[in-house]
Amino acid sequence: MSETRFKLFSDPVHGFISVPKNLILDLVQTPEVQRLRRIRQMGVAHLVFPGAEHTRFVHALGAMALMQDALKNLNEKGTEISSHEYTAALAAALLHDIGHGAFSHTLEHELVRDFEHEDMSRLLLGDLNERFDGALDLAIEMFDDTYERPFFHELVASQLDMDRLDYLRRDSFYTGVAEGEVGVQRIIKTMRVHPLDGGSDSHIAIEGKGIYAVENFLLSRRLMYWQVYLHKTVLAGDQLLRAILKRVRWHAERNQHLDTLERGSDALLYFLRRDVHADDLRDPAVRQRYCDIDDTDILFSLKQWMRADDPVLADLSRRFINRDFFRVTFLPSHPNAPQIESWRERVADWLIANDISDANSAERDARLYITIDRSGHTAYESSREMITIIDREGRTHELTERTDSPALSSLSGSVVKPYVCYPKPVDLPLDAVTDPI
């Protein structure tokens, strides 16, 4: 009996995912990809949406599965795709997010200055390519958008790429937020490779009959951002976790409480004790240290630091582990400097009253307990990269030129919401704000 050419992974979102038993399965089995099993897809969102425990690993498989569907559809519509291109595109989709660190976007900029996970993904692609004797050369060209057929890059990284199509559908499923459900297969089935007006290069375009599925996708993306990714309690968890790492870094820079700090993960402390820049990741040894960190290192360290002799670090760590988050209130506008100073004074007084800080350190410590920030999102960046619609005559148009939905035009604008994050017992004089969580 001959061996099957695919390994099946059971996925509650897409059903059975068929992974070819070639380079793709070999990549799945690498430590770099297996590491993604230990990194949650949605950062701290599982503390708000209990079902959102899914990982970067299953998202990577999902993006690869959708790439299979997209390539099959394009081939059926007359776009020739060689077996080499097929494998390279699957590899690029599988590895597109391989550079994500612990807790995904929450800590993306906390451990390494000027860090971008896309750049880290590119470095790791180079490492894997060297290990596989150049087998990823074409996948890297697609990832870099240097391949002569640009539509492959658009399937990996664009406003309708396999990454976005998978994570919206997957995150909606695991959070139970129905507004995020999108017609993924409808969008893929209406994709076509088509030259843009005035050009010869072939790009991804959407047939006219798929326009409503695309509109729903963009609307769902905005709803998922405000209801899930930028939910007030998610923002509170993000800020709390960042405050903990700032406190540890502050102690490490001053060689304080070293016995307490050393209870944490060595891999994590390597970055908290140093000022590591993104350029330093070009050193394979530093890059490996970054890959040694996953969600487990963060949680282990926080459980240790709950018993810290620094009351601030102990309190902040306890709050995260026990989900005792701060309050987040959205504001009508960004507060001025005197308002912020007044709020910090109130928090400092609360820290002193609760024996967390003394009079000499309360003003400094208060900056870890109150954060003024802003959240923002643009659902459709038409000025940077448009979505193309093909009409019945074969002419191409930018999406908003062909839609009759007035709501869609507004999605190209950025929505920014200032907010303040602070301890719930503290009474801040906030005017004209939304109801607190």
How does residue 433 score in pLDDT terms, banded at 50, 70 and 90?
Answer: very low
Is 33 inside any structural domain? yes
Least confident interval from 8-17, 32-41, 152-161, 217-226: 217-226
Least confident interval from 277-281, 329-333, 428-432: 428-432
Q: Which pLDDT belongs to residue 435?
A: 45
Residues 237 and 223 in one domain: no
Residues 404 and 328 in one domain: no
Is 1 inside any structural domain? no
Residues 204 and 274 in one domain: no
Residues 34 and 183 in one domain: yes
Task: Indicate whether 382 pLDDT > 70.
Answer: no
Higher pLDDT, 2 or 14: 14
Residues 361 and 408 in one domain: no
Residues 28 and 58 in one domain: yes
Q: Which tens digits make up the pLDDT trace of 77-131?
A: 999 999 999 999 999 999 999 999 999 999 999 999 999 999 999 999 999 999 9
Q: What range defines the domain where residue 76 resides? A: 6-230+379-413
Q: Is 36 exposed, middle or buried (0-12, 13-18, 19+ CB in 10 A)?
A: buried
Compute the average pLDDT of residues 145-163. 96
Q: Which tens digits make up the pLDDT trace of 239-258?
A: 999 999 999 999 999 998 88
Task: Indicate whether 198 pLDDT > 60.
Answer: no
Residues 141 and 185 in one domain: yes
Q: Which pLDDT belongs to residue 408?
A: 65
Q: Which pLDDT belongs to residue 63?
A: 98
How does residue 2 score in pLDDT terms, banded at 50, 70 and 90?
Answer: low
Which residues partner with 114 through β-bridges? none
Is 141 inside any structural domain? yes
Reading the block at residue 163, the tokens are: 């990454």
Residues 170 and 37 in one domain: yes
Q: Which tens digits make up the pLDDT trace of 259-285?
A: 889 999 999 999 999 999 999 999 999
Least confident interval from 144-153, 281-290, 394-403: 394-403
Helical (H) or strand (E) element with 121: helix 117-131
Reading the block at residue 260, the tokens are: 């307490």
Q: Which pLDDT belongs to residue 197?
A: 60
How does residue 31 score in pLDDT terms, banded at 50, 70 and 90?
Answer: very high
Residues 282 and 312 in one domain: yes
CATH classification of the domain holding 267: 1.20.1250.30
**Start-end of H helices in 225-355:** 232-253, 258-261, 266-272, 284-291, 295-305, 311-321, 337-353
Task: Indicate whether 1 pLDDT > 50.
Answer: no
Q: How far is C-alpha 134 from the chain's CA centre?
A: 28
Q: Mean pLDDT across the chain, nearest whole number?
A: 92
Q: Which tens digits make up the pLDDT trace of 293-310?
A: 999 999 999 999 999 999
How does residue 409 score in pLDDT terms, banded at 50, 70 and 90?
Answer: low
Is 226 inside any structural domain? yes
Task: Indicate whether 161 pLDDT > 70.
Answer: yes
Task: Indicate whether 403 pLDDT > 90.
Answer: no
Residues 352 and 393 in one domain: no
Is 435 inside any structural domain? no
Neighbouring C-beta atoms of residue 216, cutoff 10 Å: 16
Beta strand spans in 37-186 (E): none
Residues 266 and 165 in one domain: no
Is 428 inside any structural domain? no
Compute the average pLDDT of residues 397-426. 80
Is 434 inside any structural domain? no
Residues 326 and 289 in one domain: yes
Among 203, 222, 219, 209, which residue's Cα sits nearest to residue 387?
203
Q: How far apart are CA 400 and CA 414, in angstroms?
A: 16
CATH classification of the domain holding 199: 1.10.3210.10
Q: How far apart are CA 199 and CA 399, in angstroms?
A: 18
Total domains present in the chain = 2
Is 364 inside any structural domain? yes
DSSP label of 273: S
